[in-house]
Amino acid sequence: MRLSLIRPSDMHVHFRDGAMLRDVVPQTAAQFRRAVVMPNVPPIETADDARAYERKIREAAGDAAFRPLMTLKLTHRTTPAMIRDARDVAVAAKLYPAGVTTASHDGIGDPDDPGLLAVFEEMQRVGMILCIHGEAPDAFVLDREATYLDVVRRIVGRFPGLKVVMEHITTAASARYVEEEAPARIAATITVHHLVHTLDDVIGKGGIRPHHFCYPVPKRPEDLRALRRAAFHSTSGRIFFGSDTAPHPKGAKESACGCAGVYSAPVALPTLVELFLESGREDAIRRLEAFASTNGPRFYGLPVDESDTISLEDGPWTVPAEMGGVVPFRAGETIPWRVA
Stretch in the footprint of Zn ion (CB under 5 A) among 124-132, 213-221, 243-251, 329-337: 243-251
Asked whether position 261 contacts ligand NCD by CB under 6 A, the answer is: yes
- Report long-range pairs for 68-71 (Cβ below 8 Å, ≥24 apart): 68/15, 68/34, 68/35, 68/37, 69/34, 69/35, 69/36, 69/37, 69/300, 70/37, 70/39, 70/44, 71/36, 71/37, 71/38, 71/39, 71/44, 71/131
Diameter of the chain measured on Cα atoms: 57
Using CB under 6 A, pick the residue from 244, 268, 271, 310 that binds ligand NCD: 244
297 interacts with, out of ligand NCD, Zn ion, none, CB within 5 to 8 A per kind: none
Asked whether the beta carbons of 84 and 122 are under 8 A apart, the reply is: yes
Q: Where are the beta strands (DSSP E) in the chain?
A: 2-6, 10-13, 34-37, 67-73, 90-95, 129-132, 164-166, 186-190, 239-241, 309-318, 334-339
The Cα 51–Cα 47 span in angstroms is 6
Our CA angle for 248, 195, 208, nearest 5°, is 50
Q: How far apart are the first and last CA of the chain?
A: 11
Of 41 and 290, the one with the shorter C-beta distance to ligand NCD is: 41
Stretch in the footprint of Zn ion (CB under 5 A) among 124-132, 134-142, 241-249, 315-323: 241-249
Site string for ligand NCD, 274-313 (x = CB under 6 A): ----------------------------------------
Q: Please report how close the Cβ of residue 15 comes to ligand NCD at its closest, in angstroms.
A: 10
Site string for ligand NCD, 193-232 (x = CB under 6 A): ---------------------xx-----------------
Using CB under 6 A, pick the residue from 5, 21, 35, 41 that binds ligand NCD: 41
The phi-psi region of residue 324 (left if phi > 0; otherwise alpha if psi is between -120 and 50; otherwise beta) is left
Q: Where are the beta strands (DSSP E) in 74-191?
A: 90-95, 129-132, 164-166, 186-190
Asked whether position 189 contacts ligand NCD by CB under 6 A, the answer is: no
**CA 51: distance to chain centroid?**
21
Catalytic choice (10, 49, 223, 244) = 244
Using CB under 5 A, pick the residue from 49, 179, 244, 289 that binds Zn ion: 244
Asked whether position 10 contacts Zn ion by CB under 5 A, the answer is: no
Q: Please report how close the Cβ of residue 96 comes to ligand NCD at its closest, in angstroms.
A: 7
Our CA angle for 195, 197, 200, nearest 5°, is 155
Asked whether position 133 contacts ligand NCD by CB under 6 A, the answer is: yes
Q: Where are the beta strands (DSSP E) in 138-202?
A: 164-166, 186-190
Question: Is 244 part of the annotated catalytic residue set?
Answer: yes
Using CB under 6 A, pick the residue from 117, 142, 260, 304 that binds ligand NCD: 260
Q: Please report how close the Cβ of residue 108 comes to Zn ion at its closest, in angstroms.
A: 15
Site string for Zn ion, 276-315 (x = CB under 5 A): ----------------------------------------
Asked whether position 102 contacts ligand NCD by CB under 6 A, the answer is: yes
Interacting residue ranges for ligand NCD, rule: CB under 6 A: 14, 40-41, 101-102, 133, 214-215, 244, 246, 260-261
